[in-house]
A and B are shown apart, each in its own frame.
Chain A
Amino acid sequence: RKEVEQDPGPFNVPEGATVAFNCTYSNSASQSFFWYRQDCRKEPKLLMSVYSSGNEDGRFTAQLNRASQYISLLIRDSKLSDSATYLCVVNLSRGNKLVFGAGTILRVKS
C-alpha cells in the first residue's frame, strides 16, 4: 500500500465551480500534512499546511481527519489559473522527510 494515495483525476470543472480532492495516508503516526501545487513542467510549491482544526486561505480550505486518515482540499470559485496538479504531502514521524502523493490533476475550463 502506498504511504499517500490520491485520485489522479483529471478533474475537469468549469470556471466558478467548487471542487474537492481527498487524500489518504497509511501511517497513523504521521505528524503534519500539506498541499503542494505543481504547474505543468514546473517545480512543486507549497500551497498550504493542513491543521487538525481545518484552515482556510482565501478560496482554499484544507481539512484533516486523523481518525479516518484522510486530508481534503476544497477550492471554491475555481479560476483558470487553478489548473495544476495538487500534491498531498505527509511528514512522517521520523526525521524531516516529506512523502508526496502522486498528485491530482485539475483542469478548469472557461
Chain B
Amino acid sequence: DAGVIQSPRHEVTEMGQEVTLRCKPISGHDYLFWYRQTMMRGLELLIYFNNNVPIDDSGMPEDRFSAKMPNASFSTLKIQPSEPRDSAVYFCASSRPGTTHEQYFGPGTRLTVT
C-alpha cells in the first residue's frame, strides 16, 4: 500500500511567486496534517483536517498561507506571495480514525525561496 505522497519533492522559487504543495494521504485515513520543519523552529503544525474539514488552522503563520482539502484523497498548501523566510521542509501526514497519535508522514517538500 502506498504511503503519503507529496509533490513536488523540491521546489525553488523566487520571492513573490505563488507556491502550491500537494499531498495525497493514505487511503482510509480521515485526518490530514500539514507541518513545517526548520532548524530554528523544529516541526510545527500548520493546519489539520478531519474528513476534509479544516479543524484547527491556528498554526498557519499568516494570510499568505492557505490550505484546502477538496476530497479525501487530495490536499494543497498554497503560499502566495512566497518570501525567503518560508524556506523549509513541508510535511504532510495522515492518520486513521481514532489513532491521530500515529501519524504517517510523507517524504516532504523542500522549499527554497530566493
A contact residues vs B (CB 8 Å cutoff): 32, 34, 42-46, 49, 87, 89, 91, 95-103
How many A-B pairs have beta carbons closer than 8 Å: the answer is: 41
Residues of B contacting A49 in the complex (Cβ-Cβ under 8 angstroms): 101
Residues of B contacting A45 in the complex (Cβ-Cβ under 8 angstroms): 105
**A46 near B55: Cβ-Cβ < 8 Å:** no
Interface of chain A: mostly helix, strand, loop or mixed: strand
**B102 near A96: Cβ-Cβ < 8 Å:** no
Q: Mark B37-49, 1 if CB is under 8 A from A, else 0.
A: 0000011110010
Q: A95-B55, A96-B50 are in contact. Are A101 and B42 (CB under 8 A)?
A: yes
Q: A97-B45, A102-B42 are in contact. Are A32 and B105 (CB under 8 A)?
A: no
Counting contact residues on chain B (CB < 8 A from A), the size range is: 10 to 19
B34 interfacial contact with A, CB 8 Å: no
11 contacts between A and B (CB under 8 A): A43-B106, A43-B108, A45-B105, A46-B102, A46-B103, A87-B43, A97-B48, A99-B45, A100-B43, A101-B42, A103-B42
Residue of A nearest to B42 (CB): A102
A65 to B42 Cα, complex, angstroms: 24
Residue of A nearest to B110 (CB): A41
Interface centre among B31, B101, B108 (most CB of A within 10 A): B101
B80 interfacial contact with A, CB 8 Å: no
A95 to B106 Cα, complex, angstroms: 22
